[in-house]
Chains A and B, each alone.
Chain A
Amino acid sequence: MNQIQLLADAVSLGSIYALVALGIGLIFGVMRMINFAHGDLIMLGAYALVLPTAADFAPPLIGAWPAVAMIAAIIAIVAFAALLTERFAFRPLRRREVDGATLLISSFAISYLLQSIVLFVHTGRPKSVSIFPALMRQVELAGIRISLVDVVTVAATALLLLALGVFLRRARPGLEVRAAAEDFIMARLLGVKADRVIALAFALSGGLAGVVSLLYVSKTGVLDFQMGVPLAVAGFVGTVVGGMGSLLGAVLGGFALGVASTLLQALLPEALQPSRDAFLYGLVILVLFFRPQGLFAPRAMGERI
């Protein structure tokens, strides 16, 4: 494999992890909760592309629609699913003012529920699916050949981050999300509606998860009911490494993790390559040993007294 393609792979995986970490970070900001179900929302978006069958090659459902309709439908479905989890699980829990541990276990239960439902409907066999077959070819950029899907992934991520950045800084609802992440009680005193701002964070996070479903499946072409788990773990670890509570930190942490993962894959001797994740997370634990608060932790993240 040439070095340019390696770099493209690294940046493309980094982009996907950055989007996952950002989706998790948005909800952590307003609720101080790690949403375990985030990876399973991605998985749900991927499975929405196909019809339920026991066959190896899944016949497309939404995956057969025209590109724009497909993208809009998947993003809408996943965002809607995220809102459902908020409305029927997290909101009642918040009303009862349960502690962080209970919220964390609830999101784990939702994750398990989503996996069990997909397992029930689509069976547990991994399936292959093809969307955007046009992306699977190589393109020449400035004399270098790289996969088109990597270029699209990186471009889409950059555009999304830019748009979201403007939204969070300029638009009133975006400002409310950031204010709530900064100091939830103060934001409420200043007129931010708690339910609305949390629902917005879930919708944004779900939308991001939908984008990841599309990008990830168009690259790998494989569906598996536990496919969300490694993605979510990468996203969690990205937010922890980046520094919990900082959105920029989450993006950078996720990106760094994706790049490190791809580079390890290339640099490790062949016999050790299957254990790449072990090295990757071993590295993460080492980073946390020196900076337990993460690389880009905001100062205000200690417990509020």
Chain B
Amino acid sequence: MIPRTMRPFFPALGLIAVLAAICAIVHLMGNGELEGILTEALIYMVMVVALSIFVSNSGVISFGHVTFALIGAYASAWQTCCSGIRGVFMPGLPEFLLHADVPIIPASVAAALTATAVAAIAGLIIMRLSSVAASIALLSLLFVFKTIYENWSSMTAGQSSLVGLPLYVDLWAALAWVAVTIVAAQIYMSSAHGLRLRAAREDEVAARAAGIVVWRERLIAFAISAFFFAIGGILFGHFLGTLAVSIFWLNMTFLTLAMLVVGGLRSLTGAVAGTLVVAAVRGFLRALEQGIHIGGATLQVPQGMQEITLAVVLLLILVYRPQGIIGDRELGLAAAK
């Protein structure tokens, strides 16, 4: 039984507890490879929960959030990357960044705020469009920034990779950011802004008639969501240790959206569960592509089956269970009733 005063926070706290337990178990198993897969999954979870702040509450599908991961990851690299030889990779950096040695957490927050600022400015225009047009405009936003970053060699190393980002993201760092993101998503959802935006999602015309300024509510959710999606991108950079613009493109867009849709577009629990399920399927397929030894036999599928299978799984879920595996339920709410 959950005490009454705790209920508004419950899905968030319950989810964090479950995730912490999973992390503890995997850590105790001492399998480094598995721990790496889980860390990557948690980084994706930051992005998926961030995406859900905007998509789940507004009902507008975004194909452009990866833009903020791109902006955040590079902004963090500008502050922390490759001590000493930063100027070799990125000679165009302004003086105050060239020799700055910003601690990782303030650097992450500053980088994510940069992405938020871009989101706020672009959102001023995009959030006024109809929801289908906004989805397309968001994709063009990603297009714009990918093109800029690919050609802005003095700041991003252009088409080649940046190497030497500090590798500080382990299982616990990722889990901590997941926890922060989930709590933020929960607070937004239960706020008046979240309620207004969901009202507009259910019936935009009626919401307008009730005095809700739909584009403003969308913009608020968009900015918060961009902040945490950027955090996801930053974590990804400091998990891999290298950055290339091509990481932040359609694969990441597809994967994060698939994770959100598989779990269910309408609940926080769905975003978390979807990420874990898709990451597990992906990890399994990746292992299959390399070959799994069972007894004397080797089970192996050709390279490329991973993407095809994921796309087919997503389509099957969309056709047979469009509300996702979780639907609009939340963890623990049934027990609380």
The interface stretch among A74-82, A96-104, A163-171 is A96-104
Known: A120-B302, A244-B133. A108 touches B63 (CB 8 A): yes
Of B128, B131, B139, the contact of A236 (CB 8 Å cutoff): B139
- Does B290 interact with chain A (Cβ within 8 Å)? no
Closest chain B residue, CB of each to CB of A98: B322
B129 within 8 A of A: yes
* CB-defined contacts of B204 to chain A, threshold 8 Å: 303
* A117 at interface by CB-CB < 8 Å: yes
Q: Name the residue on A nearest B127 (C-beta).
A: A292
Stretch from B94-102, B172-180, B308-316, B327-335 forming part of the interface with A: B308-316
**Residues of chain B contacted by A130 (CB below 8 angstroms):** none
Do A105 and B318 have beta carbons less than 8 Å apart?
yes
Residues of A within 8 A of B205 (CB): 303, 305
Judging by beta carbons under 8 Å apart, are B125 and A119 in contact? no
The one of A120, A236, A275 that contacts B148, using a Cβ cutoff of 8 Å: A275
Contact between B137 and A285, CB atoms less than 8 A apart: yes
Known: A34-B135, A116-B304. A244 touches B257 (CB 8 A): no
Residues of A within 8 A of B135 (CB): 34, 104
Q: Does chain B have a CB within 8 A of A237? A: yes
Contacts of B319 in A (CB 8 A): 89, 92-93, 96, 106
Give CA–CA (A102, B265) in the complex, Å: 10
- Check if B254 is an interface residue, CB within 8 A of chain A: yes
Contacts of A199 in B (CB 8 A): none
Q: Is A159 an interface residue (CB 8 A)?
A: no
Interface SS majority for chain B: helix
Tally chain B residues at the interface, Cβ within 8 Å.
Answer: 49
Partner among A99, A109, A276, A284 whose Cβ is within 8 Å of the Cβ of B315: A109
- In the complex the two chains form, is B265's CB within 8 Å of A113's CB? no
CB of B148 within 8 A of CB of A96, answer no
Contact at A112–B254, with CB atoms within 8 Å? yes
Residues of B55-70 contacting chain A, CB below 8 A: 59-61, 63
B315 near A89: Cβ-Cβ < 8 Å: yes
Interface residues of B (CB under 8 A from A): 59-61, 63, 122, 125-126, 128-133, 135-137, 139-141, 143-145, 147-148, 150-152, 204-205, 250, 254, 257-258, 261, 265, 302-305, 307-308, 310-312, 314-315, 318-319, 322
In addition to A102-B322, A112-B254, A277-B147, 18 A-B residue pairs with Cβ atoms within 8 Å of each other are: A93-B319, A93-B322, A96-B319, A96-B322, A99-B59, A104-B132, A105-B257, A108-B63, A112-B250, A120-B302, A226-B250, A230-B143, A236-B140, A244-B130, A274-B151, A277-B144, A285-B140, A289-B125
14 of the cross-chain contacts (CB-CB < 8 Å) are A98-B322, A102-B322, A105-B61, A106-B319, A113-B308, A113-B311, A115-B250, A240-B133, A278-B147, A284-B140, A285-B141, A288-B129, A292-B130, A305-B205
